Structure 1
Amino acid sequence: MSHFTRALFALFISSCATFADIYATQPLLPTFTRHFGVSPTVSSLSVSLVVLAIALSLFYYGPLSDAVGRKNLMAAVLIAASLPTFAAGFAENFYFILLMRFIQGLLLGGLQSVAMAYIGEEIDKKRLTLAMGLYISGNSIGGMLGRIISGAIAHHFSWHEVFWVFGFCNLVAGLLLWALLPPSKNFQPHPFCLRRGLGDMMGHLRNPALRGSYLIGFFLMFSFVGVYNYVGFLLAAPPYSLSTQAIGLIFITYLAGTVSSTLSGALSSRWGNPITIAASAMISMVGLFMTFSDNITIFITGLTIFCFGFFAGHSAASSWVSINARGAKCGASGLYLVMYYIGGGVGGALLGPCGYTGGGRGL
């Protein structure tokens, strides 16, 4: 197995495990609302807090990674994330779950920007968009499997087992990453300096191409998390009235993102990243309008199209950052993900009232 193949496989598996863990509670939100007697908005914090914690963590993982390296840090945080995941399964109140989910986010953030920086440093430019697309396809597959498996486990057992299963998955993925990922060849260590790291990160704001990418990342994730956080509540209510397991299966629509994130690399090479991003946004809007329908087939088709556009846009924007960053690539990728995850946390919280006041149509 070549170094390129080993690197992609290791990063793909770790990406799957990370995003499965992040979004494992999305099909459980109606269950949490019933079991703990909390509102849908509070229930959705089990996703939004993870996303916001990841955004906060990215400010220190960039400088830390620049000092200690890429591979061992990514493996360590993924293994460590298994601990709060296991602990959440023993929760007796919902606020303990939220605390554990926040800690999960602080740890899982160590994989995101560091993985993108590793790709930017170790993969040649001719294959960079392909590598980034395959890595992000792991995001979509992991998010899909996390939701589907979570819904099935909760349906046949309970929500407790969901956390225990995903804690084990984090542990295994971290060990595989440590065993398979080739050591960095182009990494140049720098002494740990949070101020310098933040300065490098903020310095990228002077690059017009990167400023646009950061705003795109914010609004992409704002809409994506907001829609998927509340789609479970819509589908559990009339006229759809789906079970927890059926709601989990809805996330098979993520397969469209697996296709589009990989395809995005080829489209970006042919048309350019800006055109690919604009086309992806238009596709997502078409899909979102289709979810206005009370017909479940049209609704699911709309979600599929929405997901296709989102992952294509995210892949193109991510590779655009790596291509246009002038040094301090980890800081450039980190700032993109900070904006991306802040968008997800804000969207997950703010779109809830829209979803309920408009019978879901406000989304």
Structure 2
Amino acid sequence: MTTSSVIRRGTPAFLRANVAFFLSAFAIFASLYSVQPLLPIFAAEFGLDAGTSSLSLSVTTATLAVALLFASLVADRLGRKTLMVWAILLTAALGLLLPLAPNWYALLAIRTLMGLTLSGLPAVAMVYLAEEMDPDALGFSMGLYIGGTAIGGMAGRLLSGVLADWIGWRPALLVLGVAIAAAAIAVVLLLPTPHNSARTRLGLRDLARLIRLQFNDAGLPWLFASAFLLMGSFVTLYNYAGFRLALPPFNLSHSAIAAIFVVYLLGSISSTWAGGLAQRLGRRKVYWILVLTMTIGVFLTLIPSTPIIIAGLAIATIGYFAAHGIASAWVARRALVGRAQASAIYLFAYYLGSSVLGTLGGYAWVAWGWNGVMLVSGGAAIAALLVAFRMVQLPPLPVPELPPEPPTAV
């Protein structure tokens, strides 16, 4: 990388790149999570149980999980910008098709394809920034991108849920789809052409070798398990909170239920705060406390009181985002070889947990109500806490750790 080719603060390219990355993060994560508050509506519209309706999210995250493992190979061949542009344009196109789905199976097919297109951006976004940004500008740009993922995920859930209450789910998704398409066009026009992209051109054998190496480390497999359990518990909690709060004695509207996703802002704040705390005190001393915080929040939702349930969701959100931020950065610190592959495995486990436990929780809700959801979500949270206790006992790395990297986007 030459000093003349990097993107510096205060330049037009710096402004264009940051606006493009914020909008791309917003568009991708709004697309991914827009259906989560609509699960009770899908169940009523298509005559489904809660577990089956959750497939509208689970098929996307499952496809995304697998696609992330191979997206780096595609990026090496197409180029960073080309992959990102096509990813966001195809995602926007599928988002506009979604409200036109004539039946449940067509909706699932579109959401499955969306998992493939969504993978193109999170797989290479941070690599693009690390390669193209001047070191003095990198921290700001990374933070803005991660902020865009949080705001996009929250806005997608909030807008689709509130608008569905007023105008129906199909017009709601159409309005959101138009907004995402506008953001996608802006990204295409604004995103600077990269000048420092590394073209390693890994083959499938090289990729498989680097993936296997990650499981030779004493700590990485535990962090991958944490990703599966934390995300699975968290998504299960939110997937079916809407079903519960729509029923007596709560009787909340879809708008009121969607508004609860505003607590995601607390999660964005907590992840930043926890990162600084972990840097001062050490990850091993902080991580298990954050997982315990999430677990307490999960089990608070057992109390049949609307304010306490919302408080439990807020506490679980704070603990989850903080723990996830530390765990994802911890992966980058421990992976001395194949850091990109280690992060890809972490994200694979992360979204696989969302798919598997998120759907399993729906069938548990049908069978046993909220106690069933707690069996899945609470059980996963307790398992994640046991894994966190195991992480405390890990010996330090035998060689100096690499410089810290920002947490993986949610």
Using the size of structure 2 for normalisation, the TM-score is 0.81
Which segment drifts farther, 318-327 or 121-130?
121-130
Tell me the amino acid that sits aligned with residue 49 of structure 2: S
Name 2:69's counterpart in structure 1. Answer: 59
User: In the alignment, does 2:290 pair up with 1:272?
Assistant: no
Q: For the structure 1 residues 274 and 63, does the alpha-carbon distance in structure 2 shift closer, same or farther, using more than 3 Å as the test?
A: farther
Question: Partners of 1:331 and 1:18 in 2: how far apart?
Answer: 21
Name 1:45's counterpart in structure 2. Answer: 55
CA contact (8 A) 1:120 1:329 kept: no
Q: For the structure 1 residues 184 and 71, does the alpha-carbon distance in structure 2 shift closer, same or farther, using more than 3 Å as the test?
A: same
| 1:263-294 deviation line (CA, Å, top 9, x unaligned) | 23322322233434322211101111211121
CA contact (8 A) 1:86 1:167 kept: yes
Question: Partners of 2:125 and 2:210 in 1: how far apart?
Answer: 18
Instruction: Figure out how many residues of one structure are paired with residues of the other and give that number.
Output: 363
CA drift at 1:123: 6.5
Q: Quick one: which of 194, 206, 212 aligns to 2:216? A: 206
Tell me the amino acid that sits aligned with residue 147 of structure 1: R
| 1:287-324 deviation line (CA, Å, top 9, x unaligned) | 11211121111110110111111111111122222333
Name 2:385's counterpart in structure 1. Answer: none
Q: For the structure 1 residues 333 and 127, does the alpha-carbon distance in structure 2 shift closer, same or farther, using more than 3 Å as the test?
A: farther
User: In the alignment, does 2:119 pair up with 1:109?
Assistant: yes
Q: For the structure 1 residues 166 and 208, does the alpha-carbon distance in structure 2 shift closer, same or farther, using more than 3 Å as the test?
A: farther
CA drift at 1:226: 1.0
CA contact (8 A) 1:217 1:343 kept: yes
Question: Partners of 1:126 and 1:320 in 2: how far apart?
Answer: 23
Q: For the structure 1 residues 334 and 40, does the alpha-carbon distance in structure 2 shift closer, same or farther, using more than 3 Å as the test?
A: same
CA contact (8 A) 1:113 1:333 kept: no
Q: Quick one: which of 242, 245, 250 aligns to 1:240? A: 250
User: In the alignment, does 2:79 pair up with 1:95?
Assistant: no
Name 2:334's counterpart in structure 1. Answer: 324
CA contact (8 A) 2:49 2:366 kept: no
**SS in structure 1 at match of 2:100:** coil
Matches for 1:1-363 after TM superposition, within 5 Å: 1=10, 7=17, 9-119=19-129, 121=131, 134-184=144-194, 186-191=196-201, 193-362=203-372, 363=374
Tell me the amino acid that sits aligned with residue 46 of structure 1: S
Tell me the amino acid that sits aligned with residue 101 of structure 1: R
| 1:141-169 deviation line (CA, Å, top 9, x unaligned) | 22211111001211111211233233323
Of Structure 1 and Structure 2, the greater helix share is in: 1
Question: Partners of 2:17 and 2:327 in 1: how far apart?
Answer: 21
CA contact (8 A) 1:134 1:261 kept: no
Question: Partners of 2:109 and 2:52 in 1: how far apart?
Answer: 13
CA contact (8 A) 1:74 1:110 kept: yes
CA contact (8 A) 1:53 1:106 kept: yes
| 1:304-353 deviation line (CA, Å, top 9, x unaligned) | 11111111111112222233333443322211111111111011111223
Which segment drifts farther, 195-204 or 238-247?
195-204
Q: Which runs of 5+ in 1 are unaligned?
A: none
Question: Partners of 2:292 and 2:144 in 1: how far apart?
Answer: 23
Tell me the amino acid that sits aligned with residue 313 of structure 1: A
Tell me the amino acid that sits aligned with residue 102 of structure 1: T
Question: Partners of 1:255 and 1:320 in 2: how far apart?
Answer: 23
Using the size of structure 1 for normalisation, the TM-score is 0.90
Q: For the structure 1 residues 284 and 206, does the alpha-carbon distance in structure 2 shift closer, same or farther, using more than 3 Å as the test?
A: same
CA drift at 1:132: 5.4
CA RMSD of superposed structures (Å): 2.5
CA contact (8 A) 2:158 2:259 kept: yes
Which segment drifts farther, 232-241 or 186-195?
186-195
Q: For the structure 1 residues 345 and 331, does the alpha-carbon distance in structure 2 shift closer, same or farther, using more than 3 Å as the test?
A: same
CA drift at 1:124: 8.2
CA drift at 1:75: 2.3
Q: For the structure 1 residues 287 and 124, does the alpha-carbon distance in structure 2 shift closer, same or farther, using more than 3 Å as the test?
A: farther
CA contact (8 A) 1:130 1:266 kept: no
CA contact (8 A) 2:297 2:315 kept: yes
CA drift at 1:100: 0.3
Name 2:378's counterpart in structure 1. Answer: none
| 1:139-196 deviation line (CA, Å, top 9, x unaligned) | 3322211111001211111211233233323333333334444554553102362332
Question: Partners of 1:119 and 1:339 in 2: how far apart?
Answer: 24
Question: Partners of 1:279 and 1:356 in 2: how far apart?
Answer: 32
| 1:63-95 deviation line (CA, Å, top 9, x unaligned) | 112333323312220111112211121112111
Larger CA Rg, structure 1 vs 2:
2
Q: For the structure 1 residues 141 and 361, does the alpha-carbon distance in structure 2 shift closer, same or farther, using more than 3 Å as the test?
A: farther
**SS in structure 1 at match of 2:102:** coil
Q: Which runs of 5+ in 2 are unaligned?
A: 1-9, 375-410
| 1:207-247 deviation line (CA, Å, top 9, x unaligned) | 33432321211111111111111111011111111111111
CA contact (8 A) 1:79 1:170 kept: no
